[in-house]
Structure 1
Amino acid sequence: MSIRATAVIATTFILLGSCTGLEKDGSDDIADVNAARLIAANSEPGSWMSHGRTYDEQRFSPLHEIDSDNVAKLGLAWSYDLETQRGVEATSIVVDGVLYATSAWSIVYALDARTGAPLWRYDPGIAREKGKDACCDAVNRGVAVWKGQVFLGALDGRLIALDAKTGAVNWSIATLDPALPYTITGAPRVVKDKVLIGNGGAEYGVRGYISAYNVSDGSLAWRFYTVPTDPSLPFENDAMEMAAETWNGRWWELGGGGGTVWDSMAYDPELDLLYFGVGNGTPWNQELRSPGGGDNLFLSSIVAVKPDTGEYVWHYQTTPGETWDYTATQHIILADMAIDGKIRKVLMQAPKNGFFYVLDRTDGELISAQNYVDITWATHVDMNTGRPVEEPAARYREEPYLVFPSYLGGHNWHPMSFNPSTGLVYIPVLDFPASYGQPENFRYIPGSGNTGTNGIVGSLPDSQADRNAMRALMQGRLLAWDPVEQKEAWHVEHRGPWNGGTLTTAGNLVFQGTADGKFVAFSADTGETLWRFPTQTGVVAAPVTYEIDGEQYVSVNVGWGGAFALVFGEFVQADSLPNVSRVLTFKLGAQGALPPVEWQSKVVFNPPPLNADEDTLRKGYATYQDRCMACHGLNAVSGLLIPDLRGSARLWSDDDWHSVVMAGSLRTNGMPDMSPYINNAESEAVRAYVIQQAHRAADLRDAGEY
């Protein structure tokens, strides 16, 4: 289908504040998306106007010029470098001939969708020290467009409206208290002239909410909190009063309870209901957060509200009293499908806890729930109560417990997709466990990681043989799931976990990028691999497809990153590819090639002598796992995105080490001053522990085992 607003790329750059803009001649209706146009998105299948293409977030495209018969002729049409070495998770928006993408640190790019030529770039100027509040990399999952504006949720909590033609700032507002460790990594959505945005930060101690802002000026329309505050204070609404009955203890003193709305949303225009997913608690461990139990609403829940007012309508809780970081912020898909001879309006989700849920989206009734990965924390979901039947020991009250799936879930943020032609949902599956245990000494520290679990219990084993066995358990696959029959249709095993989101099309195709640097097309009905392209870097983002002048394009943002890459990347894939962040766009018959990439993956281990005693090393081990692991990797095994501490020359000098760790000398590079979270003795103990791990790695390398 032809683009509504054709334009010629100008040839001169102009400076607009912090933006470099390239004007488009001709029509003023660039990014002129509105409710009518988005509801009728299937009438212009060549566009990708919203995060999931349509309000129902199916990520299915009716385009079929590229199909299972000719996809082998797909080639690189153009690429564009995104100038970052951190994770790239954005779904691009493509409308009126322009592709809008984001990279790490919330930088926005507008590119000509035919050629990749830059139109403008907007950098919100995120202070790199803000990265300390981002549990899972300084990522951004994309923008929303509406009536000539581009809306960005920035990492530091600003919601920013940009002029779609120039990138100039129309308005900018703070959606959160900048003194608190909130972040925004999710993509906004726009419903009924309101921009919807949530936030992250539950590990660090915040109270979650979702907000709606008026598109015209950024004024707040409504806010829905996801957990109650101190019950001695007035409740914001009846929903919070109801939720408070499900909590115990003094959760509001431990950072506010958590429950951040950091990703998924969907909207049904006919029912006029907005659906969003809610995350984990603060701390994860319910024994500390809500002693005595309770469901702890609305943690790990899908919530339906009225988009005009934020009025509560219904909820379904996937993991009552969650204690494993089992968020329900994973992708939500809406569809109408025949179940038991009746057309049902359904909502589908495969959250972290390992069950695939089909709900009636009119009222939240549970239709079905089956596990899509092996799980050990529960046996099944009771269809009479809608609640999981738990294994009692899984709550690790008395003894540590090995839980499938891990805190990264059976499915994380990576979008899944639904193909109405095959009736299948295509899920990027993670399949590996984590060990949970009660902490030796829990102390709530505002602004620091507060999982309330035992970091040593959850760490890597000391033995290399045991580490190799653990690595073998860490699997990832593309799973085609039948949501009516609630069973697998087919799957493709990948080299490891943390592979990209999926796109499916009317050409009987599923596209997905992989952690080991490939972009692949599969047959949607059988899973046969039909085409692949080497991307030179891991891929975690989801692709999109669009059409200009009768030609279909497929585009994906590439760049290895995110939580798994930080925590596990080097451990699972010692020869992982570098982060080479780009937009890659393909079409039939194109023959483009990427420039070669120089990459040296090995860290040079040259540690100073190890003189610390066992007590110091034990303290350093525990402190590292609690305060450093999320950025620098389990057991000081680097996740590849941040310098490997085991190879740091600063290990040789007390002064150099403490200037970074306790005085923040590298805060402008993203390494915060840790003095609010650890003391000098703990800092020195961490240094000793890292030196120990560097010696371990050096010995293994000398023996040819690393």
Structure 2
Amino acid sequence: MRISAIAAALLLASCTSSTVPPQAAAPVAEAGEWTSDGRDYSAQRYSPLTQINAANVSQLGLAWYDDLDTYRGVEATPLYADGVLYNTLPWNITIAYDARTGERLWTYDPKVPREYGRYACCEPVSRGLAMDEGKIIIATLDGRLIALDRANGEPIWTSRAFPEQTTYAYSITGAPRVFDGKVVIGQSGGDMGVRGFAAAFDADTGEQIWKFFLTPNPEDRPDGEASDGVNAMMRATWADEGMWRQLGGGANPWDSFAYDPELNLVYVGTGNAVPHARYYRSNGEGDNLFVCSIVALDADTGEYRWHYQMNPGEEWDWTCTQSMISADLEIDGRQRKVLMQAPKNGFFYVLDRETGEFISAEAHVFQNWNAGFDANGRPITRESVRYTGMPALVAPGPGGAHNWFPMAFSPRTGLAYFPAYQSAFPFAVMPDWTPAPLRSNSGWGATGEEAVRRQGELFAEAAQYEKAWLTAWDPVKQEAAWQVELPRHGNGGVFVTASDLVFEGTTRQTFAAFDARTGEELWSYPTQSAPVAGGITYMLDGVQYVAVNAGWGGGAAQIERGAGTELPRSAARLLVFKLGGTAQLPPLPPQASAPPEPPRLRADEATIERGRALFAQTCALCHGQNAIGGVKDLRHMDRATHDKFSDIVLGGIYLDKGMASFSDILSEDDVAAIHAYVIARANEDWGR
């Protein structure tokens, strides 16, 4: 049975265990369970378990592990209930395990077409699953919602979040959420050009209940959906002319959702605008609602209740899709029901979750875009960061000060915990830019000798800002309680326990436990790959376990600029720990040798410049800005790969690896120009 809204609210307030039947819905997890992405409706990622504590965490050892047979990024938060651990991998392959031993109980492969790897920013990842009564619900990269029988993995129903054939390059990489019998999901694709929306489906049948578009109808007409009531309000914030009509405007909610059962509100965190450059998107005008916002909707009808926009007229690839956490805090002597978020723009926000009222915000990294907030909480954007044809250095960079990596909050310490990243990036409007289907439609990037020279100088300046931390943040005082510096971007999501332990995967290729009050590192385990996912903890047969996916990749690999090389690592694994665990990982394979010497550069400057522009528009999503890092660092191709470059890009010979053919949008001359640019970049960094 499903818990009532009142009972769920009491559970949130107490953060203690509940005495519900084993087959209860996700928000009523017992103390030893983890049955939804954020553990319960508050999404605090706070566990009341205390068996593992500061005094004994040093005894934590590996209980069991499972090789996941992929070098792709594994970003999912596992789920646990009734002795079974549920996990999902790239391409939405879903596995159920005996949580004691790691034995695979069933595996379900939805057979996602590998061509969809082209449409997914940052790899064909999945950030998790949803659980409802006897079902596990997956949201596939190609837009299907599938309810599986928890006992055997057999499909119960299948629905679609978006059509198979669509004007927009939609995909799904975020975890679905179940809120009081409704499956809520958004979609990815904002870099390709989409019109974002959130939708709710009946968890028992898969039938759509409501849909809310997050940008106005480009044809200036009603959609016949829940968003029609505010379509005029949205439309007033967009210019009459602009490429938003062709590309949808963005604002796609590609990751986090939240829910308050007492208020009956679903909170939707929205994504970046498209094209990125407001110059092209909306004639350089307008707030462009609802890009980079939190939008509160009636959970039953999808109707608009309130919104707060973090970045009016967003154009820096910033998103507000990061973790949204509910808590009740005393602020200025008054008890407030708050919603907290640290989005990509470098600020930590505290809002009233009932009304959307701005309570406070403060920067937690260096930033240069914000000159303060007005009396209504509207951010004051410095005009110097509204880029033109000459590059402007903007902080944070497009990777964001806090990306999708999950945040946690402890009601014991009153602190929020999240991985932070300080960065900057040179933005510029690309002259004479035109959008192209199924490519990265940013509209930014320097061209021309002077602009490219200046961009190079600013990239060097930006490198000086790069730092990464595990940050503990006081949302009442709006200041850091402590920070632990970590070596590079891509540190994992966190969770916190009632024994005042914070667990996080790090780019030291460790999984570590920190004192939640001081930041002291109390334990670490060499994982042979950086765990970027959010971990969980659960109790089974009186034993507390900790589980995390260790699989470097995804957005972390593509944003990485520090070293610009792939980490020497093992294939991805699911790792499960307990006190006294004695399992051992096999030795890490020998580190790869130095990058091979690239071919001689023979193309002329005009060809290289054309290839640079094509790479930025077509390839950078997966292979990194400036051809650094990514799923595969193309500067490090061997001679054999160079020889078949055209066969890979046009012939699709690596389709089974997720590298589909681009013959529908690239010509042989285009591919030759891209190849010339990659060779040029390889030679630059080789030292020629």
Q: TM-score, normalised by structure 1?
A: 0.90
Contact 1:460 1:635 (C-alpha < 8 Å) held by counterparts: no
Partner of 2:315 in structure 1?
Answer: 323
The equivalent of 2:138 in structure 1 is 152
- 1:579 CA displacement: 4.8
What is the Cα deviation at residue 534 of structure 1? 0.3
In the TM superposition, what are the counterparts of 1:619-634 in structure 2 within 5 Å? 619-634=610-625
State how 1:275-354 maps to structure 2 within 5 Å: 275-354=267-346
Deviation at 1:232, TM superposition (A): 3.1
Amino acid at match of 1:272: N
Tell me how many residue pairs correspond in the alignment. 662
**Residue 172 of structure 1, aligned match among 144, 149, 158:** 158
- Structure 1 outlier segments of 4+, above 4 Å: 455-472, 650-653
What is the distance in 1 between the residues matched to 2:244 and 2:316? 19
Measure, in 1, the Cα distance between the counterparts of 2:22 and 2:458.
54
Amino acid at match of 2:388: R
Q: Partner amino acid for 1:234?
A: P
Name the CA distance, whole Å, in 1 between partners of 2:414 and 2:451. 40
Is 1:106–1:140's contact at 8 Å kept on the other side of the alignment?
A: yes
- Could you tell me which of 630, 637, 655 is aligned with 1:647? 637
Distance 2:152 2:55 in 1: 40
2:506 aligned residue: 514
Secondary structure of the residue that 2:514 maps to in structure 1?
Answer: strand
Shift in Å, 1:459 = 12
2:247 counterpart SS class: coil
| Equivalent residues in 2 for 1:37-436, closer than 5 Å | 38-41=26-29, 44-179=30-165, 180-236=168-224, 237-248=228-239, 249-382=241-374, 384-397=375-388, 399-436=390-427
Among candidates 654, 674, 677, match of residue 666 of structure 1? 654
* Kept in 2: contact 1:519–1:534 (CA 8 A): yes
Q: Distance in 2 between matches of 1:414 and 1:566?
A: 14
Select between 228-237 and 685-694 the one with higher mean Cα deviation.
Answer: 228-237
Q: Which runs of 5+ in 2 are unaligned?
A: 1-19
Q: Work out which of the residue numbers 555, 560, 567 in structure 2 matches 1:576.
A: 567
Task: Check 1:308–1:453 CA distance in 2 against 1; reply closer, same or farther (3 A cut).
Answer: same
CA–CA distance in structure 1, aligned partners of residues 455 and 340 of structure 2: 41
Query: Greater CA deviation, 676-685 or 206-215?
Result: 676-685
Distance 1:468 1:279, change over 3 A: closer
Question: Quick one: distance in 1 between partners of 2:567 and 2:80?
Answer: 31
Does residue 529 (structure 1) correspond to residue 521 (structure 2)? The answer is yes
Deviations 1:292-348 (A, max 9, x none): 411111111101111111111111111111111111101000000111111110000
- In the TM superposition, residue 590 of structure 1 has moved relative to its aligned partner by 1.5
Cα deviation digits, residues 195-249 of structure 1 (max 9, x gap): 1111000111111111111122211111111111125322541122211111112
**How far 1:462 moved relative to its partner?**
11
Match of 1:21 in 2: none
Give SS of 2:191's match: helix
Query: SS in structure 2 opposite 1:693?
Result: helix
Q: Which moved more, 1:685-694 or 1:120-129?
A: 685-694
Task: Give the Å deviation of 1:663.
Answer: 3.5
Contact (CA 8 Å) 1:129, 1:668: kept in 2 or not? no
Equivalent of 2:669, from 636, 661, 681? 681
How much has 1:54 moved relative to structure 2?
Answer: 0.8
Q: Which moved more, 1:276-285 or 1:622-631?
A: 622-631
Structure-2 change in CA distance of 1:464 and 1:266 (3 Å): closer
Deviation at 1:433, TM superposition (A): 0.8
Distance 1:366 1:680 in 2: 53
Of 525-534 and 129-138, the range deviating more from structure 2: 129-138
Q: CA deviation at 1:692?
A: 2.2
Q: Match for residue 445 of structure 2?
A: 454
Post-superposition offset of 1:482: 0.3
Using the alignment, how far apart are the partners of 1:205 and 1:466 within structure 2? 27
The 3 A distance-change label for structure 1 pair 283 and 516 is same
Which of 188-197 and 535-544 deviates more? 188-197
Please, which runs of 5 or more residues in structure 1 have no aligned partner? 1-28, 701-706
2:541 equivalent among 545, 549, 554: 549
Is the Cα–Cα contact under 8 Å of residues 207 and 256 in structure 1 kept in the other structure? yes
Q: Is the 8 A contact 2:570 2:588 kept in 1?
A: no
Q: Please give the alpha-carbon distance, in whole angstroms, between the structure 1 residues aligned to 2:159 and 2:545.
A: 35
Write the letter of the residue equivalent to 1:110. A
Distance 2:682 2:22 in 1: 52
TM-superposed CA distance for 1:555, in Å, is 0.8
- How many Å separate the matches in 2 of 1:363 and 1:464? 45
Q: Deviation string for 1:637-694 (max 9, x for gaps)?
A: 343x3363542435765xx433332343333332222233333322211112222233
Are the aligned partners of 2:391 and 2:446 in contact in 1 as well (CA < 8 Å)? no
Letter in 1 for 2:178: V
Quote the Cα distance in structure 2 between the aligned partners of 1:531 and 1:227: 46
- For residues 342 and 470 of structure 1, do their structure 2 counterparts lie closer, same or farther at Cα, with a shift above 3 Å needed? closer
Query: Could you tell me how far 1:607 is from its partner in structure 2?
Result: 3.6
Q: Distance in 2 between matches of 1:150 and 1:224?
A: 24
User: Quick one: percent identity of the two aligned structures?
Assistant: 44
CA distance in 2, matches of 1:613, 1:87: 36
Q: Counterparts of 2:641 and 2:673 in 1: how far apart (Å)? A: 12
User: Over residues 80-123 of structure 1, what are the superposed CA-to-partner deviations in whole Å (9 max), with x where a residue is unaligned?
Assistant: 11121100111111111111111111111101111111111111
